Structure 1
């Protein structure tokens, strides 16, 4: 998991926990991470979704859902997330 993805995942965990299960908007994520446009958060969310760490429902606003309890996500090592992404075919396992 890239540092920005981990930062976003942590933000999602804390935001959702402190807002009674409601997820932040893409604009709120953009502001929190200091990104220039909404495409940055969208790419990061796409990556987290491909890794199976979040799920989204396209037809709803604030549609981000954590797929694991926050305690589980905080304990997940980068190597484990990488291995799962390779196993699911989201990324190639070959190193450059």
Structure 2
């Protein structure tokens, strides 16, 4: 069994209203940051898991997102990093 560290990025789908992102964009403008056209909020999750290989790890992570970590009706997810790690 191999051990992995993964980073998952979850963001709202295009077209879904993002009041937190809109508030952040307004606040940045108020602080004098010009040129910020929009801000979209999201979340990052770091997961450590064991799997037989990279493909199985990615499939397990996708299933975790689809079943619990992301609301796939309004959110997209991306497995941004998958790194095999050595156990001490």
Same fold (TM over 0.5): no
What TM-score do you get using the length of structure 1 for normalisation? 0.28
The structure having more radius of gyration, on CA atoms, is 2
What TM-score do you get using the length of structure 2 for normalisation? 0.30
